[in-house]
Chains A and B, each alone.
Chain A
């Protein structure tokens, strides 16, 4: 192109309009989430610099961590589904990388594969949703802001019957990433596999974030009369509530602290999804949406604190078994765990109490619907969800206190407690401070949140802390929550803290408890079910290969065709082997040789003419002259050069 540039031409090369316009969306939700991610990312990074200081492959670790954080931020700040999906996949990929971080251990490499496969199930659903949405929308309006205004899109989707299907696909994507039932089994594996310090950056929160992000779009459609979406919202709420209960139950029997963490995260995310699902169903979206987002924010910190404190303990005692941690002493960790666990198990006045009551109130709100046709299921669901959430609260109290009891109660701790690096202490106490402030001040924060989210929810239902108290406290839910807390907490206290009852003896006394314990310890056999499915899928493909591909096709083979091919191939190659010597070498080459030989022979003969005897030469010259004259005479002139 240099010559063109020298001669002053201007070459204008441009890309044609891109299929998608990409951009960054800054709205209350994305800013909030970006702050949460980057603040926790900071603490985790500082914490890890101490935790990982003697790891041989640090470069890889930091590369993955930073890629993780940047992928997360991309996910949060993207302004359309496709760009978000890129961040989503980066985060998913980093999960796999981190799980198989110690890839030389066969088990961890295997866990990475499993995490990747389960995540993929949800991602496929999400991708189908995104592509269907893309197919029905205009590339220029394919972003979150415009999509919610695009009525035409929903009308088209509803007409083609896809609306409910793809919204359930979307739910599948969220369920996969948020580790919800039945796709929640990847999270315990991942948390066990990764270098533990990185767990605190809970990628699962991307799931409820996406749900909160897309909720206004679905809600808009639901309000404008597309009633089939009520099934979608119900599914969201039920998935959340069931996960909350199942995960909490499973957590009660686990011995690996990271596994307990994983189930507790799944359980809390269940609350978020329930809140968001109820936000879609209730007469006003505001309350549920606020509940979902505020749990999302607070829990990000609470879970991070909880995880870091268990990691702290495992680092110090060099063990990953709760039963080896008995008798651990550290005031810092004790305070951190108290704040986190009390928040989780709904002890007033910590955050969990307010927030889970809020969600339960939302569920009760659903029961206020009149018994009209089609509303019945909503009312029943309201009661069902409420009951399930109360039960979850009780179970959470049990396993939360069990966790604390196992770690801090009197016990015979092995003496060699490791010195914990300073950077871990500093970042832990920093996170503790931030979480404690957030945790205690939740009722005060709710009005702030409402103001902050005003552009999204468009109404101010909590102008001050009094409205919050009036909304949450005077309800059956508060009473039930505290009763559940007391029951769960009392049992746990008797078993694990005051040691009045020995769990082993109880189990011996009631054999059915042993069965339940085994059932829960084995993670409700969901994990085993997946292995079974994978095993049978591989078996099926093997038998298909053997039966159909290898044997079955043969049955349909027409007899003789094979032989025909064999014979013709053999014939062809023998033909070529025959032609090459006989025709190529025998004819063509021999002909060439003959030409060469005969020319040589003739020229040898002719050489004898070149005698140098003058008289011969004169004779030949005379002959030539006569021939020339004859030719001239016969053909005459006139032709040569006629056309020149």
Chain B
């Protein structure tokens, strides 16, 4: 194994992003390709950790820890925690970011200020990978904010509508407020346990005063829920995700909001698992409301990207539902859904981007019968749509039944039935979307539409085939996620 793999995997994109920005004159038009290469280097570095991670799990160590001295006077280390929980999430972040970067090469070729775009994209990627691989909470917060700033810039500068500045501002304010609540929670934890270290915190959680524990967990949940855009805190998401340039939408919707879900799994389930069990009913309700509300909102949309954005909100409801059951199966489903939704939603956003790129419109009302003109894009979209709707041979089917199976395992049949019922809305808006966009007669205006250029299709086809492969062979991911779910749900008994 390469020394400092985790450090390199995290730092390389950001560092090269800065370097690319500095030497942009010399790089010229190859900047997109170089950025893709850098991003894929990070992906390869993460992949090279498969064997060590699996080995360390088999040896019973549970995690692979890289520690570097940082603020030594108060004994805070800079470190990376790679285990069965963080590895798959980190991998999918790197994968989606790399493909988005590749997608940008063609999609953003006519945009101004390319160097700045790619620098921001790479720093954004560093932020996300850093959040997932962080060993301690303060570092978690640092990367959390590092992820916010470049994404704000990306929305505000390369956004697609005139409102992009105010939308970016809204996104920034919302997420930042959430992050501040989270920081309060983190500091409160520190004040009781005197450590930020995620590997030590679960054993010290008993020192948190029982009266403060609900407050702290609510503070943390606020931070995560804002990031995940769970029901009352969701208003930033449809704007931000639909106005961002498409590759960035794929990253935002595909992986960034999953950092919140990862936080729930990593922090709340390990430190506050008792609270989670107690508040399970409320969180399940919140999850179901988010599912139904997001789905209903998606039904009402006529903008292709806005529909997908609301669909993301609805899907976050599924993940909240799974985590809230605090059962092994439910947690497994949620962790798997993090991966599967990332694949499918990035795929759908890229397909939407491809459609917008070729037809020049975003309105669903103006589209029809595109499957004859754009067969590859349409077919890939249908894979994504059927997967999210939970059609069996595709990947999201596995995570969805696990999530609801988890609800039954936690003995919450009423909530589970509501949740399963709400999947009808999911299927409804997705299939209606497919029907309106890809089938039906081809309007005259779209007679001359052609299939997207191959550079846009490569990431789309990659993601579609990953969706099929993970659907046919879920064991590929469950090999990591099943032990992770067992680990995360083992704390509630203590």
Binding site for B on A (CB under 8 A): 2-4, 7, 11, 569, 572-573, 575-577, 579-580, 584, 588-589, 592, 643-644
Contacts and interface: CB of A to CB of B under 8 A. Distances in A.
A590 to B, nearest CB: 10
Give the interface size bracket for B toward A: 20 to 34
B45 to A, nearest CB: 10
B299 A573 contact: yes
Contacts of A4: 1, 51
B235 to A, nearest CB: 5
Given A3-B1, A589-B235, A643-B194, A579 B51 contact: no
A623 B187 CA distance: 31
Contact of A579 (B2, B191, B297, B425): B297
Interface string B183-198: 0000000011010000
B428 interface: yes
B1 A579 contact: no
B296 A579 contact: yes
Nearest to A575: B296
A576 B235 contact: no
A7 B170 CA distance: 50
A579 B235 contact: no
A11 B1 CA distance: 13
A528 B296 CA distance: 60
Interface string B264-306: 0000000000000000000000000000010011011100000
Given A3-B1, A4-B1, A592-B170, A584 B297 contact: yes
B61 interface: no
Which 8 pairs of residues, A with B, have the shortest CB-CB distance? Answer: A580-B300, A576-B299, A576-B296, A576-B300, A588-B235, A3-B2, A643-B191, A577-B300
Nearest to B429: A576
Nearest to A577: B300
A588 B428 CA distance: 25
B48 interface: yes
A401 to B, nearest CB: 61
Nearest to B74: A644
A588 B300 CA distance: 16
Given A572-B296, A644-B74, 6 more contacts: A3-B48, A573-B299, A576-B299, A577-B300, A580-B296, A584-B297
Interface in B225-248: 232, 234-235
Nearest to A589: B235
B191 A580 contact: no
B1 A7 contact: yes
Contacts of A573: 299-300
B1 A580 contact: no
Q: Which of B48, B191, B192, B300 has the most CB of A within 10 A?
A: B300
Nearest to A592: B235
A573 B235 CA distance: 21
A572 B425 contact: yes
A434 B25 CA distance: 79
A572 B299 contact: yes
Given A4-B1, A592-B235, A643-B192, A579 B300 contact: yes
Contacts of B192: 643
Contacts of B299: 572-573, 576-577
A572 B296 CA distance: 8
B183 to A, nearest CB: 17
Contacts of B1: 3-4, 7
Nearest to B236: A592
A389 B297 CA distance: 82
Contacts of B232: 588
B103 to A, nearest CB: 27
Contacts of A7: 1
Contacts of A589: 235
B87 to A, nearest CB: 16
A572 B297 CA distance: 11
Interface string B416-451: 000000000100100000000000000000000000
B55 to A, nearest CB: 10
B237 to A, nearest CB: 11
A579 to B, nearest CB: 6
Contacts of B2: 3
A11 B191 CA distance: 47
A561 to B, nearest CB: 15
Q: Which of B235, B425, B428 has the most CB of A within 10 A?
A: B235
A576 B297 contact: yes
Interface in B287-331: 293, 296-297, 299-301
Contacts of A575: 296
A584 B300 CA distance: 11
Q: Which of B74, B170, B191, B299 has the most CB of A within 10 A?
A: B299
A588 B293 CA distance: 13
A569 B431 CA distance: 13
Nearest to B301: A580
A572 B300 contact: no
Contacts of B48: 2-3
Nearest to A2: B48
Contacts of B234: 588
Contacts of A3: 1-2, 48
Nearest to B47: A1
A160 to B, nearest CB: 34
A143 B360 CA distance: 63
A144 to B, nearest CB: 35
A128 B1 CA distance: 51
A2 B428 CA distance: 47
A408 to B, nearest CB: 59
A11 to B, nearest CB: 8
Nearest to B239: A589
Contacts of A643: 191-192, 194
A2 B192 CA distance: 45
12 contacts: A2-B48, A3-B1, A3-B2, A4-B1, A572-B299, A576-B296, A579-B296, A579-B300, A580-B301, A588-B234, A643-B191, A644-B194
A586 to B, nearest CB: 12
A589 B166 CA distance: 13
A2 B297 CA distance: 49
Contacts of A577: 299-300
